[in-house]
Amino acid sequence: MTVMSNRGLAVALAVLTTFVLARCEMASGQVSSTLIGVLEDNPGHYSGDPHYRDVRTVFRSDGTHWIAFPSNCPNQGCLKSIAARFPNRVDWTVTFRGREVGHVVSQTPLGFDFYATIGQQRIVGTAVPPTVGSPSANFAGYVAERVYRPLIAVSRSHYQDQERWKSTQLSPEFASAIREAFRKRFPQVTNCTKQDIEHAVPWRYSDANIGTGAAYTSNQHWVIAELALSGNECDGPPDKAFSSQWFVVTPKGQVRFLDSGMFFVDAGDYGGDGKTELVFSIDADNRGGYKLFYDDFKQSAVFEFNYH
């Protein structure tokens, strides 16, 4: 028989205590770590169903790192059991561009009904969920229906954006540098012709084909920008280069690839540590969710699910 040392017993008890306390926090809704959710506008699940609003709980902070909540279930049984790993009830501060725009309270159901609803908490109480702007297909992602833009919700009043991220127009120098990075990432691209839309062949694209989309800059001289090729002639799924590709430019002018198939949601100091986090919405074929970048883009967390 193996006898555990006093030190080993103490460590085991500490781990068990931490686990039990975390489970109690989840059950009571009194979660000590900072949570990030997203206030969403969703089409109904079936034809004719009205839109519904929810807060999807996506990330939590352990004080040093951001961690994604579980998000990808392989079967129906998982959809029912995984709900226990989310906080029961959260009082959210809803934010946009570094300011508070409202409050909502949401509650996790006993189980999730669909793969695409993982993490969605039902809004309870009488507070009217805030909206910003008008419904647009730009925020619809895979569902391809006009919805209100997603808004970041935080479990604590941490949302100011000291780095002042805002939309911008790329300078010719930045546009040239990012296009060069795009070419290095996609040195070979295939496309079809109008005469043959079913068979892709190697295609030499020009700078005029590299379209620039949204771009943002901070007062710390960081820049993020979206690029994608135009001119696809194929009848089927196009080459990946025709989808949204995001790059970041450091204050020293270095260009790095961030990710593809997403759009920018918002930025803020959601952890309350003086550093800004940036949240993107995943916008890809049969994939949704959110991606968070932090620590000057050196680290990230991903909450991702399939629609079916």
Buried b / exposed e over 26-38, threshold 16 CB at 10 Å, is: beebebebbbbbb
Distance CA 79, CA 146 (A): 27
Q: What mean pLDDT is predicted for residues 286-306? A: 95
pTM over 0.85: yes
The H or E element containing residue 21 is helix 6-28
* Structural contact between residues 290 and 278, judged by C-beta atoms closer than 8 angstroms: no
The half-sphere exposure of 215 on its side-chain side, counting CA atoms within 13 A, is 19
- List the strands of the sheet with 223-229, edge to edge: 166-167, 210-217, 223-229, 245-249, 255-260
Q: Give the percent of the chain with pLDDT over 90.
A: 79
Q: What mean pLDDT is predicted for residues 102-107? A: 97
Q: What mean pLDDT is predicted for residues 15-20? A: 37
- CB neighbours of residue 68 within 10 Å: 20
- What DSSP letter does each residue of 56-101 carry, written as one string? EEEEEE-SS-EEEPP---SSHHHHHHGGGGS-SEEEEEEEETTEEE
Question: Mind listing the pLDDT tens digit for each residue in 166-218?
Answer: 999 999 999 999 999 999 999 999 999 988 999 999 999 999 999 999 999 99
pLDDT at 49: 86
pLDDT at 31: 54
Residue 18 has pLDDT above 80, yes or no: no
pLDDT at 126: 86
Average pLDDT score over the chain = 89
Residue 82 has pLDDT above 60, yes or no: yes
pLDDT at 30: 47
More confident site: 150 or 141: 150
Q: Which residue type is seen at 216?
A: Y
For residue 147, the 8-state DSSP code is B
Who contacts 165 (Cβ-Cβ below 8 Å, separation ≥6)?
216, 217, 218, 267, 276, 278
pLDDT at 27: 44
Distance CA 297, CA 275 (A): 11
Residue identified by tokens 């006093």 is: 6
pLDDT at 45: 83
For 36, the token pair is 């990030």
Phi and psi dihedrals of 152, rounded to 5? Answer: -75, 135
Question: Mind listing the pLDDT tens digit for each residue in 230-284?
Answer: 999 999 889 999 999 999 999 999 999 999 999 999 999 999 999 999 999 999 8
How far, CA to CA in Å, does 257 sit from each of 28, 144, 167, 227?
41, 26, 19, 11
More confident site: 79 or 3: 79
The H or E element containing residue 22 is helix 6-28
